[in-house]
Amino acid sequence: MAEVVEFRVPTGSAQTLLVWGLEPEPGLEHSLFSAFSKFGPLYSVRAHRNAAVAGPGYSAVIKFYSAGAASRAQRACDGRRLFQKSPVKVCVCTKQKGFQQQVLPLNSTKCQELANHYLGFNGWSSRIITLQNVSGFHGENEEVGKTFQKPSVKFLCALEVTLPRHGVRARGVALGEADVENAEDPLEFVTATRRVQKLAVGRALSSAFQKILLVVLENGKVAVEYSSSHEEPTDSLPEEELKGLVQV
């Protein structure tokens, strides 16, 4: 049975494991990560001290991107000692009915980690189509009082992600913005510009990956699909028009 993995923050109960019976030790979260990442890429590992009523020790919440990987980890690790002297208990998180969690896109760093795991370091690439300074573009109906606000730096980025082995291309467009605290300091403008450029590029990369679905097959192979539900008008624009998007 195939499983679809998206470039989104995992919120499903089937992707989340609860681990308890943990003994306190330095680097506990690192040990957990090493033990459970063998079954698939992890989004997060969080260890917590037990409440007083629950007795001494620690418990942990481990989030996988894949429900299949979480299930394999639960079966393999439940009742095992793993890295400590006593066995741990591992279960899949119980689904909470009536509780709707917001689905959020992964940040660019997490997107790259997930893509590298399933596609390989050479299985995808990205390129910036345009990175434009739009700091001077303001709405016609701005209030007069806003002209006295701190100056800000804004950059618009259009980026394309390519998966050559699968023949898939996806575009992302995003805006990065930051205020400049001291407008008279040229170094601060330079620093803010670099920070905002990096922010715009990262957001555009994340936006492009939202249109890509990874289909993980039972034999471990990965197929890729383009999600038309996330298609935007900029996806069909020629590069020349996309570069002139701000002017248009």
Check whether residue 83 and residue 15 sit in a common domain: yes
Please compute the mean of the pLDDT values over residues 102-123 and round it to a whole number.
94
In-domain check, residue 222? yes
Check whether residue 132 and residue 217 sit in a common domain: yes
Check whether residue 73 and residue 25 sit in a common domain: yes
Amino acid 53: pLDDT: 67
162: β partners: 125, 169
Three-class DSSP category at 20 = strand
- As given in the structure block, the two tokens for residue 103 are 């689905």
- As given in the structure block, the two tokens for residue 3 are 């499983």
In-domain check, residue 167? yes
Answer yes or no: is pLDDT of 102 > 90.
no
Q: What CATH number has the domain bearing residue 60?
A: 3.30.70.330
Q: What is the pTM of this model?
A: 0.85
User: Which of 51, 22, 45 has its CA nearest to residue 33?
Assistant: 45
Q: What's the start-to-end Cα distance of the chain, in Å?
A: 47
**Number of domains, the chain:** 2
Q: Are 114 and 124 in contact (CB under 8 A)?
A: no
Check whether residue 206 and residue 122 sit in a common domain: yes
In-domain check, residue 4? no
Strand ranges for 27-182 from DSSP E: 42-49, 58-64, 89-92, 125-133, 152-163, 168-179
Q: What CATH number has the domain bearing residue 241?
A: 3.30.390
In-domain check, residue 33? yes
User: Which of 73, 70, 207, 55 has its CA nearest to residue 129?
Assistant: 207
Burial (Cβ within 10 Å: 0-12, 13-18, ≥19) of residue 6 = middle
Read off the DSSP letter of residue 8.
B
Check whether residue 187 and residue 114 sit in a common domain: yes
Answer yes or no: is pLDDT of 201 > 50.
yes
In-domain check, residue 102? no
Amino acid 223: pLDDT: 95
Check whether residue 68 and residue 163 sit in a common domain: no
CA distance 175 to 155: 6
Check whether residue 180 and residue 156 sit in a common domain: yes
In-domain check, residue 59? yes
Report pLDDT digits (tens) over 209-244.
999 999 999 888 999 999 877 667 677 677 776 676
Check whether residue 206 and residue 113 sit in a common domain: yes
Amino acid 210: pLDDT: 95
Q: Are 27 and 47 in contact (CB under 8 A)?
A: no
Check whether residue 121 and residue 206 sit in a common domain: yes
Check whether residue 156 and residue 233 sit in a common domain: yes
207: β partners: none
Domain that includes residue 227, residue range: 108-137+150-245
Amino acid 15: pLDDT: 94
CA distance 112 to 116: 6
Check whether residue 132 and residue 222 sit in a common domain: yes
Check whether residue 72 and residue 159 sit in a common domain: no
Three-class DSSP category at 218 = coil
pLDDT band at 180; cut points 50, 70, 90: confident
Q: What is the mean pLDDT of the chain?
A: 87
pLDDT band at 56; cut points 50, 70, 90: confident
In-domain check, residue 190? yes
Helical (H) or strand (E) element with 108: helix 108-119
CA distance 187 to 180: 11
In-domain check, residue 161? yes
Q: What is the dihedral of CA 97, 211, 154, 146, to 10 degrees?
A: -40
